[in-house]
Amino acid sequence: MISKACVVGVYQTKLEALARLPGMELTVVVPPSWRDERGELRLERAHVQGYDLIETPIAFNGHFHLHFYPRLGALIRRCQPQVLHLDEEPYNLAAFQAMWLAQRIGARAVFFTWQNLHRRYPPPFRWLETYNLRHADYALAGNREAEAVLRAKGYTGPAAVIPQFGIDPTVFAPAAAPRPEADPAAFVIGYIGRLVEEKGVDMLLRAAAGLDVHGDWRLEVIGGGPLKDRLPPLAAGLGITGRIRFEGQIASTEVPDRLRALDVLVLPSRTRPNWKEQFGRTLVEAMACGLPVVGSDSGEIPHVVGDAGLIFPEGDVEALRGQLARLMADPRLRAELAARGRARVLARYTQARVAEATYAVYRQMLAP
């Protein structure tokens, strides 16, 4: 498997789950780090039992379409895999590089896509995508719309809808005891993720600003990105600076404890011409921790949440405020949603479930 995403430590629990399945010999190739709008995510060797995690240099780090691995050919010739899992979108150079190498050694190849908008890329990325769609033995799509996009682009091979990662329910688990809290009367709202326009964090601040009539509250915003310097002035203009705490990017291993310190997790994503929510992993992590969630109706969010959380129309600040007010006023609703969320994750979104579904794809690819 070639995966820049697996520099994140908590994602590696899927790799351990895969490695435990019968007949699996797993080698995972990762870069030393990956750069995005949050900064540089350095490799976390957190869960590395039962498989080989190989670090290799990456060229054009941070360039999503153009990055590739200069030493990948030598690694693949040495490992001689039967299946090459390209944890990359089919229109980028790294996916083309790995697909071409798979063809050279006769390995079966599968790629992964989150892309739920039908976009026509300029050359050379359109050519890379065409090559990968023609030569892939299987496709994994992170959501239903992504599979539909593949079909619309002419992909005719087998495909399965499987999330890229699940969660470890022993790591993301409800608190064993009520959290110690300096102000137990305050309702704690949280956001964890990228601070970018499409995630709608500014709307969360505006919604929270009108909650005073419903009781005491605090807001925790955790993450990095282009909006990190623009949100504090917005909070000051709304008069909520004393109720909000901004914290930068944290290690993935810290996320479970941060979630357990909240009363609700909010994902207020808004669709843009070039993006809509592809999954909403923090929702699943929060649900696993026994936390009620509130999400917009952008993209895949309603399908991920199901009946285990509250949904509001994207961009509607008043509707978001109303859902938060409902939860503030109704402890029984919070407890009911928390229980539903944990059950939904155990049934659909654990790393073991994702690993088993991925393993079944591998077996199909190797069947006569």
| Residue-level pLDDT at 180 | 57
Identical fold, 5-166+350-366 and 187-348: yes
Q: Is the pLDDT of residue 178 over 70?
A: no
Distance CA 366, CA 137 (A): 10
pTM of the model: 0.84
**Total number of residues shown for the chain:** 368
- Which CATH code for domain 5-166+350-366? 3.40.50.2000
Write the pLDDT tens digit of every residue in 219-260: 999 999 999 999 999 999 999 999 999 999 898 889 999 999
What's the mean pLDDT when you consider all of the chain? 95
Q: How is domain 187-348 classified at the CATH fold level?
A: Rossmann fold (3.40.50)
pLDDT score for 184: 64
Spell out the domain ranges in the chain: 5-166+350-366, 187-348
